[in-house]
A and B are shown apart, each in its own frame.
Chain A
Amino acid sequence: MLHSFHIFNRKGDLLFYKEWARAPRSAKAMADDHKLMFGFLFSLKQLVNKMAPRGSGGGLHACSTSTYKLHYFETASGLRFVLCTGLAAGDLRETLRRLYADIYVETLTKNPLHRLDEPITCKSFEQAVDAFFASLQQGQG
């Protein structure tokens, strides 16, 4: 069960957003949510690094609440992929990495019309992402 999907860049700009099964809300509330989400991840990441035993970096992988689980994948180039799902989901970082390697890089990085750091409007990216999540959802039942 998928809830929402964000892609942020290093600066915290929202590049792409998609949601399933979330209560409808105003555009303003939605924009606030995105900002909160990035702020939350940013702080959490710093905390995670600070808490790590000496000599090991340690990155944020996922966190869960009583109703959903947040999966986090960050590339060395600063892109953050955030997927919220139901609690039953396993480790989805490899899935997010595949999305980055097979879809993001192929349809956006190599696409001269796409400008990095701007919201994604590329049709083939959207289609590929939709198909990707549709198959993911089917796989999980």
Chain B
Amino acid sequence: MASEAERKKVALRRLGDATFSKVDKVSAELFSLTYGAVVTQLLKDYEDVAAANVQLEKMGYNMGVRMVDELLAKASLAQCASFSETAEVVAKVGFKMFLGVNVEVAAATSSEFRLLLSENPLAEFVELPEECSKLEYSGLLCGVLRGALEMVQMRVECSLLRDTLWGDEVTEIRVLLKERLVEEFVDDDE
């Protein structure tokens, strides 16, 4: 059984690599700096770290609902059989394809998983100043996960548990499955 799961992981990692090679790339520095500029502007506009956190998550959500289609199309994925499989797909294919990084899954159960990012292209060159120590700089990723998973019928809650910018060793995102959405058809004639 364990070897079966291992084989699946290897297959997904390969799929992630193949998909990554298919997509257009931008320079990592340009990407990091652009994202930094966006976050800085948000902080200026909202003048409040908590409000900027909320906004970053929302932006991520709006990106996620679209990004999922690109992932499904480029990687030709079908429905996942379990939530832990979803975790592996997100980590090995999703993160690889869009950010080019390898992400580890930890503590995967049928209703929760954690993603461990040892490298985070968003947070390259970043140091949080004292007054922004509560800023969830990579909170965008939580939003992306929430948006993307909602499109495939999973309502989740994501939170940033640890962040290298807060002095932690890795960046850790927790994804909690709240509800599997059910398709329904409403006939407005009746």
Contact = CB atoms under 8 A, between A and B. Distances in A.
A139 B1 CA distance: 46
Interface residues on chain B, size class: 20 to 34
Given A57-B79, A75-B72, A109-B70, 5 more contacts: A10-B183, A76-B151, A97-B73, A101-B74, A104-B69
User: Chain A interface: which size bin?
Assistant: 20 to 34
A76 B152 contact: yes
Interface in A12-46: 12, 35, 38-39, 42
A104 B76 CA distance: 14
A38 B151 CA distance: 19
Interface of A: 10-12, 35, 38-39, 42, 57, 75-79, 97, 100-102, 104-105, 109-110, 116
B70 A39 contact: no
A12 B69 CA distance: 18
Contacts of A97: 73, 76
Nearest to B78: A76
Contacts of B186: 11-12
Interface in B46-76: 65-66, 68-70, 72-74, 76
B76 A77 contact: no
B69 A38 contact: no
Majority secondary structure, B binding face? loop
Given A100-B73, A105-B69, A109-B69, A78 B151 contact: yes
A12 B184 CA distance: 9
B79 A76 contact: yes
Given A39-B187, A42-B185, A110-B66, A101 B79 contact: no
B77 interface: yes
A101 B69 CA distance: 8
25 contacts: A10-B183, A11-B186, A12-B185, A38-B185, A42-B183, A42-B185, A75-B73, A76-B68, A76-B78, A76-B151, A77-B151, A78-B152, A78-B183, A79-B69, A97-B76, A100-B73, A101-B73, A101-B76, A104-B73, A105-B70, A105-B73, A105-B74, A109-B66, A110-B66, A116-B65
